Amino acid sequence: MKYLIKLGSEVTIKSDAVRKNCIKLLKKNILNHLDFYQIDGILKWDWDRIVLEVPDQEDQAKIISIIKNISGIEYFSPIIDYELSEEIMSEDTKIFNEISRIAGEYFEAQIENKSFVVRIHRVWRHNFKSTDLERYVGWKLFENAKNTSVSLHNPDVSVQMDLRDNIICILTEKIKGTSWYPVGFQSNLLSLISGWFDSSVSSHSLIKRGCKIDYLFFNLWGDAHELGVKQMSYHLWSHFSIPYKRAKFISVPFDEVLWDIIKNIPSRFRAIVLKRCMLKVASQISMQYYCGVIKGDSVGQVSSQTLQNLKVVDEASEAMVLRPLVGMNKNDIMDIAREIGTYDAAAAMPEYCWVVSQRPETKAQLQDILDAEENLSKDILEKAHWNRLIQRVSDMLFSDDKTSSIPEIQQAWDEIIIDLREEERVKKSPLTQKWIEGSVWIPFYEINHTFAKLDQDKQYLLYCDKWVLSHLHGLYLKEKWFTNIKVLRP
């Protein structure tokens, strides 16, 4: 089976030298993607297109799904090609009749009772124009097909063909590609990935621009959260960025930083300080190895993403900060997440919005934030930075062991309820009277450090308004070999 691949529109307007470099990269990338899926392929290329040939026994749907994810391709099509003999090529009339015959064999049944248009792309030296050939083929199809009509602007069927010297190709289906530039066309960037919609879409948007992306994850909730983010990073790499074989996943332990922020920073500043702390560490890593940092912020989407707050957050970074989603709305971002296959995973990911009060600061002043940060423990960011773990994305293996769930129940009996909510939320919405007597209050930012001090002969139920938080802490404690925990989800 053969596929005709057209270069991305951005590539075709580049200078000759840049264009040649892009084509070289694209050829390499196509073969890398096929090799990853253990598919043999042969490439031939001209100035504005690449022809890929794969064994006929390969699944066409699989090949199409692979090519669609390769950046630098405007569109592609499975093709059927025919070689016109020297005798046919000797006269224009013979060429017209032979191409009309070929088109009729493939398209006549398709255009019955439908409207159609003929589009033929022609390259090489011929004694006729493309429009002359299109009119002739269209006339023959109209003459021979049953109950058909011609529509130049809104046809039911588009008869797509490509004539290059003495080779005529039928484009059986025109499929939109990713476009933009092949991976490797630009330098390395470090993407802050949380597993939520924004971070996966922002990473993908710059992979399309030809950037080589490494993933930086700040671990707030333990191995279970990290596993989900690793799986998302692997998905992005294995579908869109395979040619960058050295892609890395960097995990920074940040639970102690979060705990320090909760204890020492006023509630309205917490989200801003947390983002600044993350950006300080990201900047420190980026300045050594990367051209910049990618964040998934969108102006005004949440309170910490007002222009004033974004400006204050960026003051923490010496590295260039890129925000490819800055002008997009949430629905558009989620639609892209569906297209690239990260939606379901992102929907199951926790956000750290619970560290923010119900009335977060929307117009933070830098000096106020700097004053608040004076209360943080010294060297805590440096400790997190040096304890980071680095792993090749291609080497990541996933086991089901850490994804085992925590039992959930709707009613407490003899168990002790641990209320994980912050104090102000406990006061505003206390537990019902029947549960208060058998409960203790341990805020979520302390539970991982204090659970071992409790009586381990008793059974405990973790509770919070957002059951995802209690579930994550349950998984974290289970990883530490505690088995006397369940989640209360009334």
Q: Structural domain boundaries of the chain?
A: 2-176, 188-402, 408-488
User: 233-250, pLDDT tens digit by residue?
Assistant: 999 999 999 999 999 999
Picking from 40-49, 136-145, 205-214, 394-403, which range would have the lowest pLDDT averaged per residue? 394-403
Helix axes 330-340, 197-207, angle to 10 degrees: 70
pLDDT tier, 434 (very low <50, low <70, confident <90, very high otherwise):
low
Q: Do strands 321-322 and 293-294 pair parallel, antiparallel, or not at all (unpaired)?
A: parallel
The structural architecture, per CATH, of the domain 2-176 is 2-Layer Sandwich (3.30)
* 25 membership: H or E segment, kind and range: helix 16-36
pLDDT at residue 398 is higher than 80: no
- Model confidence at 404, pLDDT cuts 50, 70, 90, reads low
Could you tell me the pLDDT band of residue 154, with boundaries at 50, 70 and 90? very high
How far apart are the C-alpha atoms of 89 and 63, rounded to whole Å? Answer: 33
Residue 490, pLDDT score: 67
Q: Which two tokens stand for residue 287?
A: 């300045």
Catalytic residue among 22, 169, 277, 464: 464
Q: How large is the average pLDDT for residues 304-319?
A: 93
Question: Chain-wide mean pLDDT for the chain?
Answer: 89
22 is catalytic: no
Confidence (pLDDT) at 195: 87
pLDDT of residue 378 exceeding 80:
yes
User: With bands split at pLDDT 50, 70 and 90, how would you rate the model's confidence at 141?
Assistant: very high
- pLDDT of 201 over the 70 cut: yes
pLDDT for res 216: 97
CATH code for the part of the protein at 188-402: 3.40.50.620
Q: For the domain bounded by 408-488, which CATH number is listed?
A: 3.40.250.10
First to last CA, the chain: 56
**What is residue 402's predicted lDDT score, i.e. its pLDDT?**
45
The rounded distance, in Å, linking the Cα atoms of 343 and 334 is 7
Phi-psi region of 127 (alpha: psi -120 to 50; beta: other; left: phi over 0): alpha
Higher local confidence (pLDDT), 471 or 462: 462
| pTM of the entire predicted model | 0.84
| Predicted confidence (pLDDT) per residue in 83-97, tens digit | 999 999 999 999 999
Q: Is the pLDDT of residue 78 over 50?
A: yes
pLDDT, residue 172, reads: 93
pLDDT at 288: 85
The contacts of residue 245 (CB under 8 Å, 6+ apart) are 32, 394
| pLDDT tens digits for range 324-368 | 999 999 999 999 999 999 998 888 776 655 555 557 888 999 999
For residue 400, pLDDT over 50 is answered with no
- What pLDDT is attached to residue 436? 67
